[in-house]
Structure 1
Amino acid sequence: MTDAGTSPHDGAKPPRLLPDEIHTAVAPGTALLRLETTGSRQSLLDGAWWPRSRDVERELPPLITALTEYLGPLTRIGLDASAWNGIPTRLVVDDRVVHLDSFPVGDDTVLITRGDNDHFSLMVVPPAADPEAARTAMARAVRADNASQAAEILLAELPHPAGPQGGTAG
């Protein structure tokens, strides 16, 4: 088994939502974006991000830099405080202040604000996710016809942990 998402067998591979060269490049820390900057965005998600950890000060600066390159200056990022380690009120990235807000959006979503009122929603893949499942979930999130929320995609695509320990049989 390989981490690159390829099969060691020469048989037919299952169809992928992303071309192989992009699919294999997706790793923790990757942001996949499908940005529609008009007011009539059809999809619930604008992209997907797979951080390496839940450390805000380590993970957000590279994301902010990458997003700023495509969106222009970001003003705010909304995160769920229960999912991230120590959210400061702001970060300075590339000599710009980006305010961080704590919202109960869930551990599966990050809200990005450009300007005063232009919002983008990114699905957040858990840092410890299986690489193949994470890539599949990210590809599904960025599809133009996606009508699923981040939690739905992650539940459908990521392996579920075993039931609670010590449960009673019924």
Structure 2
Amino acid sequence: MKAVFLLAGVASLTLTASLAQASGLDVNINNEAARFAASGELKPGIELGGSLLSSDDNGDLTAASVQVLGTETARTYEVGAGPRWSHYDSDHGKGGGLGLGGYGYVSLPAVPKLSVGGYGFYTPGALTYQDFDHGSEIGVRARYRVAQNAQAYIGYRRIGAEFDNSDSETLDSGPLVGVNLLF
């Protein structure tokens, strides 16, 4: 079942890349998890992205997401907001739904190559399916531009969910390191 889910996730990332020119590839890891994400601009100000996550932080978790965000980028900030579809296959339950959220980063004037910010998405119970009742993902990052088209970062991520027949669970959490390649 996990192999089928991963295959479906790879197919959705391939579709993402075929619909939009890739503008970013992101990989982040920690001792219990790894995430691969790709995004591209459909047209100026509209970004399509997708990700795959594998974690054994609190039982086995495989998660996939696809999002469409309205974005704005200036010299000193980046922001984006919009819907995200997520699906979770975990030891605590299976399912997913449609949520809303976004991200924001600001450059620090004293260190122009350094930016800080975060992201958050919430999926309400009214827009879920299977065992998934509701959930959220939040993260913070400090990013440093190490080359013209590469950012290295450190951060923290927490994915929480409630499934039918279970209490709220933290599916994945902890510090991480990553690299974002920009095209």
- The normalised TM-score by structure 1 is 0.30
Instruction: Name which one, 1 or 2, has greater alpha-carbon Rg.
Output: 1
- Greater share of residues in helix: 1
- The normalised TM-score by structure 2 is 0.28
- Greater share of residues in strand: 2
Answer 1 or 2: higher relative contact order, Cα 8 Å, separation at least 6: 1
